[in-house]
Amino acid sequence: MFKNWQDRCLQAWLYLSILLVVGTVLLLMGYILVKGWATLNLDFLFSAPQGMPLGKEGGVFPALTGSLALGLLSMLIASLLGLATALYQHLYCTSQRVYALIRLVVQCIAGIPSIVLGLFGYTFFVVSLGLGHSLLAGGLTLSLMIFPVVAINTEKALTEVQPEQTLASYALGVSRSYTFFHIIWPERKSDIISGILLGTVYAMGATAPIMLTAAVLSASSPASLLQPVMALPYHLYILASERISLENAYGTALVLLLLLFAGYGAAFLLFGRRGEGRG
């Protein structure tokens, strides 16, 4: 009797927690959807901010393209670093101390607040390297922020490969690179790519790092790596904090949410395909 009572209490707690989280997310999304839907149209998406102060009228096209450019650049850099780190840990590292040290460094980077990474990006990329407020400086800073996401997700995906497959490959004299590209990658590519997408979405929604390295109040669509850009999170911050236009702020928030959920949807779609393949 006591055990059944405990089970029921645990189940009730789990269900209430799920309902609370899902309800909060739906409430937030619904509120932004209702507030921003009236502003969202083709003219808002494909026109630049206008009016005085800037952003009171017009749209978000330069900020949208700037966010996409920052996300793409950070994805490319973080993917190279994260994949290299995970592959070294899984295929080449033979020392447990080195493996533990790498994992500790990755976890420490993951725990650094984004504003601190922004200060580092400003000091090192903007000032020391002379990149200035630019797309490149912002992309490099965001890549440092999402590098742990890519590295940890990739390592997790690699460790889920059945060891018998890789051991049999090594026993036949096959190189580690061939083993990865012909055995591990075909089986785990959905997990690896989805982890990269999740990191990219995380970067596109960040505000603090790009405030100090890349984002400005007004800029055209990205045409050079060394030019500053507009970005949706920073544009939203300015519209809301300065009370320039709450209508456009809600519209910008809705565009950002739709963009982020498109990335999350693509990532989870890859997870779904992987699951169907296993079934």
pLDDT for the residue numbered 279: 39
The answer as to whether 200 is a domain residue is yes
pLDDT for the residue numbered 54: 81
Alpha carbon 74 to its chain centroid, in Å, reads 9
Read out DSSP for 105-152? Answer: HHHHHHTS-HHHHHHHHIIIIIIIS---SSHHHHHHHHHHHHHHHHHH
The answer as to whether 190 is a domain residue is yes
The CATH number given to whatever domain includes residue 111 is: 1.10.3720.10
Spans of the chain, pLDDT less than 70: 1-3, 270-279
The answer as to whether 54 is a domain residue is no
Q: What would the pLDDT profile of 63-87 be if each residue is shown by its tens digit?
A: 999 999 999 999 999 999 999 999 9
pLDDT for the residue numbered 132: 92
pLDDT for the residue numbered 1: 52
pLDDT for the residue numbered 66: 93
The answer as to whether 11 is a domain residue is no
The answer as to whether 14 is a domain residue is no
The answer as to whether 17 is a domain residue is no
The answer as to whether 49 is a domain residue is no
Which residue range is the domain that position 73 belongs to? 61-278
Number of domains the chain is built from: 1
Backbone torsions φ then ψ of 229, nearest 5 degrees: -135, 160
The answer as to whether 8 is a domain residue is no
pLDDT for the residue numbered 276: 47
CB 102: neighbour CB atoms within 10 A? 18
CB 32 within 8 A of CB 253: yes
pLDDT for the residue numbered 147: 95
pTM for this model (two decimals): 0.86
